[in-house]
Amino acid sequence: MRKSAGIGAGVLAIGLLMSGVSAAIEVQGHRGARGYKPEDTLPAFEHALKAGVDVLELDTCVTKDQRLIISHDQTPNPVICKWDDGREVDPNVPLFSMTLAEIKKLDCGSLKNPRFPEQQPVPGTRMPALEELFDLVLQSKEPAAKNVMFNIETKMVPSGDGVINPDPVAFVKLLLGVVKKYHFEKRVMIQSFDHRSLAVVKELEPSIPIVPLVSDNLPDLVALTQNLKASHVSPDFAWITEEVVRDLHKVKVQVIPWTLNDEADFERAVRIGVDGIITDYPDKLIAFLKKKSLRK
């Protein structure tokens, strides 16, 4: 048995166990490790693997030539991307209207995101195709790479069908095709704010966990997850309470809020009994959990 880091940590862990909540909290690296490296890029995912994350959280968009590109934004973001020749990108041009080869001419590693003072630029970094991330993990020597999961978001909105994203069926079929190519069906979960795509996942590949994302409001999460047959839910952390988490646990739904980046939020998340935490700083979260004797 691992020696406790202190009386307070021991009481916290015992309290969690007595309440029926697992003390093992899943660590998800948001966009890899956005706090340290350019978001949704291979350097960010490499950093997260070195930190020892349980899950790599990422976003996917579809290109004109039907490739899955890892990007949070459905258009090039001028804050973090520029063209190789230094020109500013046009944030009004959908990635869906560009080929993978065209997108690969974007440098998304030279511009430091001003929101993250610890982020280190990696000049020349490209938006990776989903296959590139899967290959990175398969080739990685980091211990975490052997079992790391992927939490993959489908970036889409209903009004964007055929304009900035495919329709839900086309998007999901494309995503599942890549997942099956790598035999990663048991290593992925699929999340989205557009719950239409989650319903398609459940219809086509019911064994893959789906994760409805919920932002800036608090609907009836029990009803939502039961309607979608979802085993997980990922709400905005500011909008959930201990009572909400408890009600979801009663129907065997895991709660993985986003995006928590400081110890005060980590403390509250542990206290209300969440099952996982999505963070831009996986190193800090892992250190916090170890300090609380909640992680080996």
Find the distance separating the first CA and the last CA of the chain, reported in whole Å.
10
Instruction: Name the residue with tokens 């039961």.
Output: 226
165 secondary structure, DSSP code: B
Domains, in order of start, for the chain: 21-73+130-291 (3.20.20.190)
* Pairing status of strand 82-83 against strand 106-107: antiparallel
Please, are residues 119 and 31 in contact by the beta-carbon 8 Å criterion? Answer: no
5: tokens are 């880091």
36-63: pLDDT as tens digits: 999 999 999 999 999 999 999 999 999 9
82-138: pLDDT as tens digits: 999 999 999 999 999 999 999 999 999 999 999 999 999 999 999 999 999 999 999
Distance CA 217, CA 126 (A): 34
Per-residue model confidence as pLDDT tens for the chain (296 residues): 333 333 333 334 334 433 434 459 999 999 999 999 999 999 999 999 999 999 999 999 999 999 999 999 999 999 999 999 999 999 999 999 999 999 999 999 999 999 999 999 999 999 999 999 999 999 999 999 999 999 999 999 999 999 999 999 999 999 999 999 999 999 999 999 999 999 999 999 999 999 999 999 999 999 999 999 999 999 999 999 999 999 999 999 999 999 999 999 999 999 999 999 999 999 999 999 999 999 99
Burial (CB count <10 Å: 0-12, 13-18, 19+), residue 266: buried
pTM (two decimals) = 0.92
Q: What 3-state DSSP class applies to 96?
A: helix
CA distances from 291 to 2, 24, 108, 263, 287 (A): 12, 13, 35, 11, 6
Distance CA 294, CA 269 (A): 13
Long-range contacts (CB closer than 8 Å, 24 or more residues apart) made by 263-270: 263/288, 265/237, 269/25, 269/237, 270/12, 270/16, 270/25, 270/294
